[in-house]
Amino acid sequence: MAKPILAAAILAVIAAVVIEVRAYKQGRRRITRGQVRIRIITASLLLLVLLMAFISEYVLPSRGEGFQKLSRHEKSLVISYWLFCLAVSFSLIVLAMADLRICLINYALHRKEMRGVSESGMEHRN
């Protein structure tokens, strides 16, 4: 059941990146080049996590008895695999927070700019 969902998530991330980059190149997004980079890096890391989860279905031993039959070295490899996946997931949170911070700064600048335009328009009417 998880395999089709993971495959669909992988395709959705790829589609979202393609749409975002196209919109940026066509000038339909008011984001900076740095934001585009952050979003591409974030999408790449998200793809890595999804691929690791997808691959684990085939490569890593199943839970329960399969894991208990592993040697100590094999168990440490499996645990290291998932710890690396967890570390990448936490880095996604940090990147999302950085992107949000940039979005809020750009929004504030845009609002300030629009306020200046509307105030100058009011002066010309009087």
Q: What is the pLDDT of residues 91-126, one digit of tens each?
A: 999 999 999 999 899 888 888 888 877 766 655 555
> What is the C-alpha to C-alpha distance for residues 56 and 112, in angstroms, rounded to an integer?
49
Structural domain total, the chain: 1
50 neighbors 10 (Cβ within 8 angstroms): yes
> What is the C-alpha to C-alpha distance for residues 43 and 58, in angstroms, rounded to an integer?
23
> What is the C-alpha to C-alpha distance for residues 18 and 68, in angstroms, rounded to an integer?
42
Q: What is the pLDDT of residues 14-67, one digit of tens each?
A: 999 899 888 888 888 778 888 889 999 999 999 999 999 888 877 777 666 677
DSSP per residue, the chain: -HHHHHHHHHHHHHHHHHHHHHHHHTT-----HHHHHHHHHHHHHHHHHHHHHHHHHHHSPPTTHHHHTS-HHHHHHHHHHHHHHHHHHHHHHHHHHHHHHHHHHHHHHHHHHHHHHHHHHHHHH-
For 78, the domain range is 2-125
Does pTM surpass 0.85?
Answer: no
> What is the C-alpha to C-alpha distance for residues 56 and 38, in angstroms, rounded to an integer?
27
